[in-house]
Amino acid sequence: MSKVALITGINGQDGKYLLQFLLDKGYIVHGFARKKPALTSENEQQNVFYHENDLSDFSSVLSLFQEIAPDEVYNLAAQSNVKTSFERPEYTSNINSLGTLRLLEAIRILGLQEKTRFFQASSGEIFGKTTELQRTEETPFYPCNPYAVSKIYAHWININYRESYGIFACNGVLFNHESPHRPESFVTRKITASVARIKKGLQEELILGNLDSKRDWGFAGDYVKGMWMTLQQNEPDDYIFATGQAHTVRDFVNFAFKEVGIKIKWEGKGPSEIGKDASCGRIVVRVSPDFYRPVESSISVGSPAKAYNKMGWEPETSFEELVRMMVRNDMGLSYK
């Protein structure tokens, strides 16, 4: 018999990849979404069931769990934007922290502890300003934005429900992962979409915030595989999913422009820094403090060693391949 999975946040970047991954494995998938998408493939029409729900509404969560009693739950729904979390801290906590509690409560109240396994999308942001350079599962948390604080509540309530009620509850501490499905509110997609528009003559300049900021960027398709692997283990546990390598925003810009045949020449510092097309001197990148954060996480690199040693998970897509995939998608070209 097919396993039944529930994905919250199924319309988001990871939801799209996880849905495809689980369908390929023969799962029946229920999608928890604020809006049902138009069904696309025949496979989806037969094996995917969408439920219009909101994580702020416990009664709708409870009745859904009662109806489908899922074997596996992947909690991907979140207000996932760090900048927005400074503007909407209360809403961010309601969805990210209490939303997770509502799902765990549904499992507990309905007595689904023996049946339902639970994956929580935790975040590398929980380490924030921690001084340890390579973050492991033992690194202390030091969140520096409301999003990270909300994710720490979810992380710990998940562990608490595992220890208190025996729920197979796991955290995947996900470092940044990107794809052609990433919205332009995140820097990687903003860069690749802008580079494509600049190359096509549809945009003059790319305006960014902190170019020195470093992130550990992986490919979303690799990370959803890790989420699934987490729930197939004999014991519940928490794992970091990361590449172990950091790149600056400036590196990302250089690689993205290189993909469309433009070499960037940088001049100036801080908000005055500009990036010119080296072949003609035209300014194509500028900095604006409008995109600076009130507080910035320090260099954020995760160690995927535990996920590799215990589950054999490792990132399969390099930084260069990721940038190429995103730029080619935005140029309307094929990519693997």
Residue type, 244: G
Shortest spacing between CB 313 and ligand GDP, in angstroms: 21
- 100 makes contact with ligand NDP (CB under 6 A): no
- 176 makes contact with ligand NDP (CB under 6 A): yes
Gap between the Cα atoms of 159 and 236, Å rounded? 10
For residues 7, 10, 15 and 17, what is the CA-based torsion angle, rounded to 10 degrees? Answer: 100
Q: Are 77 and 121 in contact (CB under 8 A)?
A: no
The Cα-based distances of 78 to 94, 148, 276, 296 in angstroms read: 9, 12, 37, 20
- List 95, 98, 107, 307, residue binding ligand NDP (CB under 6 A): 95
Nearer to ligand NDP, 77 or 170 (CB): 77
Gap between the Cα atoms of 92 and 61, Å rounded? 18
- 284 makes contact with ligand NDP (CB under 6 A): no
- Residue 134's Cβ-count burial label (10 Å; 0-12, 13-18, 19+) is middle
- 18 makes contact with ligand NDP (CB under 6 A): no
Nearer to ligand NDP, 11 or 139 (CB): 11
Gap between the Cα atoms of 182 and 336, Å rounded? 17
Nearer to ligand GDP, 44 or 296 (CB): 296
- 157 makes contact with ligand NDP (CB under 6 A): no
- 77 makes contact with ligand NDP (CB under 6 A): yes
**Of 50-58, 159-167, 229-237, 258-266, which segment contacts ligand NDP by CB under 6 A?**
50-58
Q: What is the torsional sign of CA 235, 227, 173, 120?
A: negative
- List 73, 78, 195, 285, residue binding ligand NDP (CB under 6 A): 78
List binders of ligand NDP among 177-196 (CB under 6 A): 177
Binding at 325: pick from ligand NDP, ligand GDP, none (beta carbon under 5-8 Å per type): none
Q: Are 123 and 141 in contact (CB under 8 A)?
A: no
- 221 makes contact with ligand NDP (CB under 6 A): no
Q: Which residues bind ligand GDP (CB under 6 A)?
A: 82, 176, 185-188, 190, 208-210, 213, 215, 249, 291, 293, 296
Buried b (16+ CB within 10 A) or exposed e, 56-76: eebebbbebbeebebbbbbbb
Shortest spacing between CB 147 and ligand GDP, in angstroms: 8
Which residues here bind ligand NDP, judged by CB under 6 A? 8-9, 11-15, 33-35, 54-56, 76-80, 95, 121, 123-124, 174, 176-177
